[in-house]
Structure 1
Amino acid sequence: MTRNALVPAVSALAALVIAAPAASATPHTVHIRGGHTAVTVAPAIATALLSNGIAPIVTRPGKPSLTTVGGQPTLKATYPVTGGSLTTSPLGGKIRHSGGLKFTNVFNGRSLEVKNFTIDLTKARLTGLVAGTKTRVPVFKLDLTTAHVHLGNHKADASNVTLKLTKEAAGALNTSLRTKVFSTGLTVGTADTQPTF
């Protein structure tokens, strides 16, 4: 994804920064106090994972739930926002979360968990910490061209952000789980994020 595709959505978020009361001594930065982000897995992906014996498990304090997309049932995971900041100069910022997602291959018992996700608007990606290590990896590329942004005085709501699996994540998942179900650029689902300031 190019930076040009990222600019419209981040610019809309930046408008909130200008209109909101100053949250710190830096006028061009707004600090995130809370909120949540929900990830909805595409029904076809949920079906493909389960049919190949891959079970996605939401780990605390993330909360799993069932939802429907186009009349098809699928998994939804909601994670609390723990902090971060958005900037107007330069455009960008990070939204941090707690909780994780554990993938388990029920055929061989192998698993891989990524947690403490960070949405990096500057680089248009979502990263996660590999459980049991200090290694943070890019999990998804963010496609904001389909996103809808609603602004308020103390929060932003960016919905329908498309999540595409990175080469690093696909390789790590296939290797760790000994499967071939994951591929680079796979559209896993969408994210809706509602940070509060």
Structure 2
Amino acid sequence: MNRAKTKEAENLTTFQFNQRIKKSLALKFGFDGLYSGGHTIRNEKGWRDNEIGIDYIWITKINRSFVGFGGLITIKFDKSEFREIKNPEKLIQGIFLYDSKGNIKDIYFEEQIDEINDPIKNINNLELFTVNEGITLDGVYYEYNVITRNIETYFSVNNPNNGQWKIWEKEIWNLGNRLAQKSENEEMKQLFE
């Protein structure tokens, strides 16, 4: 198989794996998929229990050499009403671990309702052409997926070492470490030590 076909097959496998993780995360939160916009929440009989709106989602998968695999997810909900249900504006931030098939093994998350704070959203000027000029064999590999209204983007980054990416990485580690400690899950804690 030539190099182009090998890379194409690798990209397809990566895409399918990422889609399995996203589907698995969606099911953990009671959604049929992870996308911005309106979602219908159904009960076990298939009847509508609620309708919510999602402003944005970001997911960062983390692969640490010799440590493990996991990630962070943030979901920002819009304020909305469905029948007598008042859905507040809120932010869910979580940490998760996944297996080799793309299934979520463990998840821990928190909700913010009154004081919504997402420092990752405020990082808007990531340098796309000067992420890392060094060798990237070991260390930390990130896959960053941002889903908003009319935009979905995906980046993979090895050991970022410049200005804005280092700020982004610091915020990822701050959030991951805080959630890992609260989760009381040893594997989550190891991922972010």
TM-score by length of 2: 0.30
- Higher relative contact order at CA 8 Å, sep ≥6: structure 1 or structure 2? 1
Higher helix share: 2
The structure with more radius of gyration: 2
